[in-house]
Structures are given as C-alpha cells and as structure tokens.
Amino acid sequence: MSAWLCAIDHKRVGILYMLSALLFFLAGGMEAMVMRAQLAAPNLKLVAPEVYNQMFTMHGTTMIFLVAMPVLTGFGVYLVPLMIGANEMALPRLGALSFWLQLFGGVLLYISFASGSAPDAGWFSYAPLSEKPFSGGAGLDYWALALLLITGGSIGSAVNLIVTIATSRAPGMTMRLVPLFVWSTFITSVMIIFALPALAASLVMLLSDRLLHARFFDPAQGGSPLLWQHYFWIFGHPEVYIVVLPAFGMISEIIPVFSRKTIFGYPLMATSSVAIAFLSYGVWAHHMFAVALGRNFLAVFAASSMLIAVPTGMKIFSWIATMWGGAIRFTTAMLFAVAFLLEFTIGGLSGVAFATVPVDWQMTDTYFVVAHIHYVLFGGTVFALFAGAYYWFPKISGRMLDESLGRWNFWLVVIGFNAAFFVQHFLGLLGMRRRVYTYPDLPWFGALNVISTIGAAILAFGILLFCANVLMSLYFGAPAGDDPWNAWTLEWAAASPPPLENFAEIPRVRSRRPLWDLKHPEAPDWTRA
C-alpha cells in the first residue's frame, strides 16, 4: 500500500490517475442516474429541486474535472515515457504531487455533500448566482477551493508532460517522428498552461467576493457578472479541446494499427491539432451569444467558431482515409474507435449549428445543448477512452480484456448512449429547458424523456459490464505478451506490464514506426522516405 501512496514511477502514478477517475466516473454516473430518474416522467417529485441542482452541478464538475482531465492525464503519464523511449517522467516528484493535488481537490468537493450544502450553481457557476446572496451555504466555497487544487495539479502535470516530451525522447526521435498521441498530449499540456490560470483567477475573485466582501461579480456594488463569463469561457472553451485532443491522439494510434496502414497525413494531423489549440482561444464568446455583446462581436466569434470545425474535419477525413482500403480488424478497441468517428461527428455538427447566432439564441439553455455536449464529451472523449482502454489494457496489466464481454460492452454503450442523448436534440427543439428539476406534461415530452432514461440505464449497465470485464480480466484474462496487436510504437517494445526501467535497451529511432523497423529489418520505414 505504501508503495502506491509514495509512488513516483510514472506507471503507478498513471494507474492512480485512471483508478481515481474511474471511481469519480461511477459517482458522476450515479448523479446522472438520479437526474434521469427524476426526469423519467412529467411532474415527478423523486428529489427536491435543491437536490436536483446539486446533482447536475456535481455531475458536470465531476465529469469534467475529476474524470475527463485526470483519466487523460493518467494515460499521458503512463504512455508518453513509453512511447518516446524514456525510462521515467522528467520531473517524477512533480508528477506524484500533481496527482495528489487533484485527488484532494476531488475529495474536498465531495466533502461538501457531508457538510450538507453541495454546490448547486452548475459546473460553470455563473455569477451572480454563485455569489453569497444567492448561494449562501458553503457549497460554492468547497467548489472553488476544490477547483483551485485541481487547477494546481493540472498545471503541474502539464508542466511535467511538456518537459518530458521536450527533453526525454529516445535518440533520433525528433518531433516529426513522435506518435500522434504524444503530439496531442504535448499540445494539450501547452493549452493547460495558458487556459487553467484563467479559471484560477476567476476562482480567486469568486472566493474574494464570497469570503472577503469584494465586488468583482456583484452588479449591485459596481462589479460585473459578465467578467465571470468572459474569464470562465477563456478557460472553458479551450477546456473542451483539452479533454478532446488527447482522445484524438488515441484514435490516431488505434485506427492505423487495426487498419494495417500508416496514418494518412501525419503532418496534417499534427498541424491541425496546433490549429485547433490556437483557434480555441478565440471562440470563448460563442458561449455568451445570449448576452448583449454587439453585432460585430457576435459576427467575429460566430466566424471563428465555424472556422475551428475545419481542422477538426481534417482529422475526421484523415482517419477515414487511413481506414480506406485497409485490412480492418474489428476488435473491441477498433469498434469503439469507429463509433467515436460517428458520435463525435454528430456532436461536432451540432456545435457548428450553435455557432450560428440565431440558432444559439433559439436553443441556448435547452436540452439541445445537453445533447451536444454529451455527443462531444461522451461520444468523443469517452468512446476514445474505451477504445484506448481495450487497446492499452494488455500493456498495463499483462492480460487481455475479454473480447466477448467487450462486444457486449460496446453495443450496450452505443445503444444506451444514443437512446439517452439523441432524443434530447428533439426535446431541445421542442423547448424543454435544461437545469429544471421537472417539466410539464406537454406533447412528446414524457415519451422522449422515458426513452432517454431507459437509454441511460442501458448505458449504465454497459459501463458496469466494462468494470466487470476489467476486474475479471485482471485475474482470468489471457496473457497478453509484449505486443498483442502487432503494433508499431515503442511502448509495445517493452514487456507487459513494463518493468520499473521500462526498456532494457532503447533503440535508435529513425521513423514513425520504430517497432516496425525492428520487426522488418529487410524493409524498414526509414528507407521509404
């Protein structure tokens, strides 16, 4: 036990990130199920309105800050040193400190439940709702302090990943040769360095308002609630890409291996990630179209929001082109990767719709937004995480995940997810407001909501099946061997699970597929360039 508590080895720290994220995922999932049960029929009163407010606040905060960010960081911390041929992270103690800061932040957030006043102002806690006169309990204080800790941990892990990628690559591995997952982790880490401080500044000002009687966000005393929105979304929109870009990187590793082709347009994939990162800092106000910002302001942010779809679309086409003509093997990892393409595209297209100002005006704060964000973050990030889990579990544990259970897991998640969230597009178009604990018995509202709740239950069952698969495979799974997928990147050159030092000998890297070069000395990649 103490070996895990004091761990600084990147593999153990990475596993700790993933395990803590899984536990918070289950907690956030339970909060979602409470909400879906409450919404299963019109005018239900299973939970009080105050409890419902706490549920959607904790669900959003948990899924963004305690699941999506930590689990992606966990994959990065575990895999990046292996992929670049390093024995360790560059700053291992900082890596461990960052994890514990994030975990303590999460624990502090959940202590607010015990204090009897969990935060209840939504995951973006708009002012003045988050100010003392409207949220008088200690819940928002817990929320802000917890997020400050998580922010510190996230910045620490981002610094560590940047330094590791910049200074610890194997001999010969230039940035033009690193795997795309490493590229996306590097870009994401740089984004964290520039985006998370905006959240930290907002939180410090919110705490000043609440605890020290400052007046940053209180219009009655000369402050401005809009300042919160600007600062929060300067962080918040890059945040969407912070939790999506590493998922893109995972897909860019998985699709080529199971299509038996190299990735189509590697330079395009890397530069499109840079373009997404750059553009993501210029689109924050599309979350504020309902605020009277002025026509020119709206036009600029509508255009920039549409523009960001271009590099994202390039990636989709590159993945399709990679599969085109390939010898595709539909393992569970590949099934999730293909489903990711479809689900994320749906979320991306509804995002482009939202970039159109009148559409946003009509749809803002309806269930259309809920559907959109879940197609991006679940259909995108979580589907990629499932793909990544099935792909890298053999490396992490030394055992294969059961493919039969994996297929059940896949179909339950796909059916449950689409049943739960696709119908929410229609609910939004019909005018159902989000963040309201119940709704009147209007035409279609009851039927669509019950479909959504049944879908959520199926989705929950699919996720529990995944947890069961992980537990069973840890004990009874088939031995994986070092390279069960016949893959090409360096992590598969290490033993499964990798020893403390990762590699007995680090090969000189001369192409983007160093393991292919080792396996095929008669036709290495670098001779084709």
Within 395-414, which residues bind other proteins (CB under 8 A)?
Answer: none
- φ and ψ at 224, to 5 degrees? -140, 120
Minimum CB separation of residue 245 from other proteins in Å reads: 18
Q: How many residues in total does the chain contain?
A: 529
Minimum CB separation of residue 71 from other proteins in Å reads: 22
- How far apart are alpha carbons 243 and 154 in whole angstroms? 12
Show the tokens assigned to 121: 């102002």
Residue from 58, 77, 146, 162 binding other proteins (CB under 8 A): 162
Q: Does 359 bind other proteins (CB under 8 A)?
A: no
- How far apart are alpha carbons 108 and 147 in whole angstroms? 9
Residue from 52, 231, 248, 284 binding other proteins (CB under 8 A): 231
- φ and ψ at 327, to 5 degrees? -90, 80
The count of residues interacting with other proteins (CB under 8 A) is: 31
Minimum CB separation of residue 247 from other proteins in Å reads: 23
Stretch that binds other proteins, among 59-67, 137-145, 203-211, 291-299 (CB under 8 A): 203-211
Per-residue interface string for the shown chain with other proteins, residues 63-92, x marking contact by CB under 8 A: ---------------------------xx-
CA atoms within 13 A on the CB side of 448: 21
Q: Does 223 bind other proteins (CB under 8 A)?
A: yes
Show the tokens assigned to 386: 């499932």
Q: What angle do CA 216, 113, 44 make, to 5 degrees?
A: 100
CA-closest candidate to residue 5, choices 111, 77, 99: 99
Minimum CB separation of residue 64 from other proteins in Å reads: 19
Residue closer to other proteins (CB basis): 230 or 435: 230
Residue closer to other proteins (CB basis): 28 or 95: 95
Minimum CB separation of residue 108 from other proteins in Å reads: 18
Show the tokens assigned to 424: 């929410």
Q: Does 293 bind other proteins (CB under 8 A)?
A: no
Q: Does 197 bind other proteins (CB under 8 A)?
A: yes
Show the tokens assigned to 478: 């088939």
Stretch that binds other proteins, among 17-25, 114-122, 213-221, 387-395 (CB under 8 A): 213-221
Stretch that binds other proteins, among 209-217, 239-247, 481-489, 499-507 (CB under 8 A): 209-217
Q: Does 44 bind other proteins (CB under 8 A)?
A: no
DSSP calls for 504-518: SSPPPP-SS-HHHHH
Q: Which amino acid is at 90?
A: A
Q: Does 172 bind other proteins (CB under 8 A)?
A: no
Minimum CB separation of residue 166 from other proteins in Å reads: 6
Query: Counting Cβ atoms within 10 Å, is residue 526 exposed (0-12), middle (13-18) or buried (19+)?
Result: middle
- How far apart are alpha carbons 203 and 142 in whole angstroms? 11
Minimum CB separation of residue 203 from other proteins in Å reads: 10
CA 7 to chain CA centroid, nearest Å: 25
Q: What angle do CA 54, 218, 191 make, to 5 degrees?
A: 65
- How far apart are alpha carbons 242 and 127 in whole angstroms? 24
Residue from 94, 309, 349, 405 binding other proteins (CB under 8 A): 94
Residue closer to other proteins (CB basis): 82 or 159: 159
Binding site for other proteins (CB under 8 A): 90-91, 94, 155, 158-160, 162-163, 166-167, 193-194, 196-198, 200-201, 204-205, 208, 212, 214-216, 222-224, 227, 231, 234
